[in-house]
Structure formats: C-alpha cells, structure tokens
Amino acid sequence: MPKDKLLKVVLVGYMGSGKSTIGVALSEHLKCAFLDLDSYIEKAEGLSIAEIFAQHGEIYFRKKEFEYLKEILVNRDNFVLATGGGTPCYGLNMKEIIANTPNVFYLKLSLPLLVDRLSREKEHRPMIKNIPNQELPEFIGKHLFERSFFYNQAPTTIRTDGRKPQEIAALISEKLV
C-alpha cells in the first residue's frame, strides 16, 4: 500500500463477526484511524444507541446512521470503519458505502461460531438479550439469511473462522485496492 494513497476501508458483517476487533488490528497494521460507526453516532448524539432507540425510535436512529455514515465516507480519509451489523441493510447505506470505496469487506463467520460467540455476549446485545440460548441458532440463522443479501454486496468476502485478528488484518491489507 503506497504511503501517499488515501485509504477508506469498510467492514460489514453480522453482529459478533469481529468487525471492531479486526478493525482495530487492521488500523494498526495500516497505521490509520479506526472508527466504529456506533461509537461515532453515540458521541455525535450524546446518547447511547439504546437511549437513541428508546427516546427517538428506530426510524430516527436509521436516519442519523445514514447521515453519519455519509459524513465519514465523504469527509474523511485514511480510516478503517466498523459498521453496525444492521448498517448495510437499511436505506441506501450499502450503496453509499460502495460508491465511496472499493475496499468493502464482508467478515463472514460461520453460524455455529456466531451462535457460540453471541451466546457469551448476550447481555451486551439488546437484540438477542432475551432470547433463550436454545432458540439462538434459529434466530441468528434466520436473521443472518435475511441480511446476507446486503452483506454479499461487498466486493470481497473474508471467511474468518479459525483465524486470528492479525491474520485477517494482513489478509485484508493484501486485498486493498
């Protein structure tokens, strides 16, 4: 990767697929900024994502999500951006991402590993917090199937099963345009 090249890398994938962890490793590897879209929204709005949903509803959140996503993509360079799991699936988000960078990567983790990881993170995942563990595989499988149409629009899919974040970061850096 030439030092003078402006870089915009966007990571998409289901919740728990490792977007933030891999994003941090990749930004360190590339020596550029790491941005987490949900954290960016929380800072800009002065509220947590849960508070935004509770106070303003999902439509407001999705509108703001698109505005902040576009703000980052248009006004910033030299970053790795981890999107929310639902970001690519709403409005024109995925179209906007692809229009602004060819470096869009779908981090694809197998269903059994997603279920295993998310079952251990349930308390921090409002969408699945109240779903009994025995129902998680069906819920995640169905939800992932519904979202796959959007994730698969990413120009590059990276299968992450059995790989360490630094290994995935190196693999992504080899595929940058």
Total of domains in the chain: 1
What pLDDT digit, counting tens, does each position of 154-163 carry? 999 999 999 9
Per-residue pLDDT, 2: 43
Q: Which whole number is the average pLDDT over 140-151?
A: 96
Q: What is the pTM of this model?
A: 0.93
Task: Output the domain CATH number for residue 22.
Answer: 3.40.50.300
Whether 36 maps to a domain, the answer reads yes
- Biggest alpha carbon–alpha carbon distance for the chain: 51
Residue whose C-alpha is closest to residue 20's, from 71, 83, 105, 91? 83
Q: With a cut of 80, say whether residue 148 has pLDDT above it.
A: yes
Work out the pLDDT band at 175, boundaries 50, 70, 90: very high
What pLDDT digit, counting tens, does each position of 2-44 carry? 445 689 999 999 999 999 999 999 999 999 999 999 999 999 9
Whether 143 maps to a domain, the answer reads no
Whether 48 maps to a domain, the answer reads yes
- Average pLDDT for the chain: 93
Long-range (24+ apart) CB contacts under 8 A made by 127-132 are 127/15
DSSP 139: H
| Candidate from 27-41, 46-60, 139-153 with smallest mean pLDDT | 46-60
Whether 121 maps to a domain, the answer reads no
Let me know: does 27 contact 33? Beta carbons within 8 Å. Answer: yes
- The range of the structural domain enclosing residue 104 comes to 8-109+151-174
